Amino acid sequence: MSSEREVAIITGGAGGIGEAAAHAIASRGARVAVADLRPAAAEEAAVRLKAAGLDVEPVTVDVSNEASVRAMVDTVLGRWGRIDILVNNAGVESSKPFLEIGLEEYERVMRVNTTGVWLCCQAVIPAMLRQGRGCIVNVSSVAGQRGGGLLGTAAYSTSKGALIALTKALAREFAKSGIRVNAISPSLTMTDFVQRQLDRLAPGTLERVIAMTPIGRVGQAAEIAAAIDFLTSPQAAFVAGHVLNVDGGTAM
């Protein structure tokens, strides 16, 4: 392994699972770019993480825009000279019934949750190939395996299911080049993302989801981040193309 400090990009790093992952990965000594669509929120997350003594910098990015993704990668390479870890965590939710999801909504969700990951991988992998090492974790969802059933519906499930195929395709293509690609599959985890959906959905939705979860509670962002931390660590050196369920048993 290189003796240089690792550099990580975490998309959607301004809150929730992304901020928790930034905390976990920076805590083991990595430099972390907190990359998010919301500049002020990314700045605030960076202030919180720096207050904990961590080496992080905010970067503004729209993962659904190729030029913006390339600018993010150039910024990080310009600042730190390498990219060892990419966590594709930025995502948007969608919880309408199928027949109410117009093409515009479908394309909005796919553009961020799937195309965004595609664009970030295409922009970062050349740097990882030059280094001869790298590690990517894609944040999928239990919805991508079960077709929804918790909060996300058809567009969300489709976007997250595609990530599982993309994870395996990239793992297969780049494993021999020293790049490991894996995914995590969380179930309901208490973040703003979930709160926004619960605010719109029928009362009792949270209780219904908890009743479907064998462990009998929702997840915490730090629990999802711990799985991301593991998959990006040397302890997972022989793990590739894997989808790690962090879901209280929901997907079984």
Ligand X SMILES: NC(=O)c1ccc[n+]([C@@H]2O[C@H](COP(=O)([O-])OP(=O)(O)OC[C@H]3O[C@@H](n4cnc5c(N)ncnc54)[C@H](O)[C@@H]3O)[C@@H](O)[C@H]2O)c1
Give catalytic residue positions.
156
Candidates 9, 12, 22, 225; binder of ligand X (CB under 6 A) is: 12
**Which stretch, 26-34, 46-54, 98-106, 188-196, contacts ligand X (CB under 6 A)?**
188-196
The amino acid at residue 144 is G
Length of the chain (residues): 252
**Which stretch, 71-79, 89-97, 101-109, 174-182, contacts ligand X (CB under 6 A)?**
89-97
SS3 163: helix
For residues 112 and 90, the answer to whether their CB atoms sit within 8 Å is yes
Q: Does 244 bind ligand X (CB under 6 A)?
A: no
Cβ proximity to ligand X: between 129 and 210 the closer is 210
Cα separations in angstroms, 222 against 1, 19, 48, 129, 228 = 27, 9, 15, 30, 10
For residues 222 and 27, the answer to whether their CB atoms sit within 8 Å is no
Residue tagged 């593991």 (tokens): 230
Which parts of 128-167 interact with ligand X (CB under 6 A)?
139, 141
Q: Does 94 bind ligand X (CB under 6 A)?
A: no
Q: Radius of gyration (Cα) for the chain, nearest Å?
A: 17
Which parts of 192-231 interact with ligand X (CB under 6 A)?
192-194
Candidates 15, 58, 134, 248; binder of ligand X (CB under 6 A) is: 15
* Tokens standing for residue 179: 């790049």
Spatial distance between the Cα atoms of 33 and 10, rounded to a whole number of angstroms: 6
Cβ proximity to ligand X: between 131 and 138 the closer is 138
State the DSSP H helix or E strand holding residue 60, giving kind and residue range, or none if neither: strand 56-60
Q: Does 6 bind ligand X (CB under 6 A)?
A: no
Candidates 30, 37, 231, 240; binder of ligand X (CB under 6 A) is: 37
Instruction: Note the residues at the interface with ligand X (CB under 6 A).
Output: 11-12, 14-18, 36-38, 41, 61-64, 89-92, 112, 116, 139, 141, 186, 188-189, 191-194
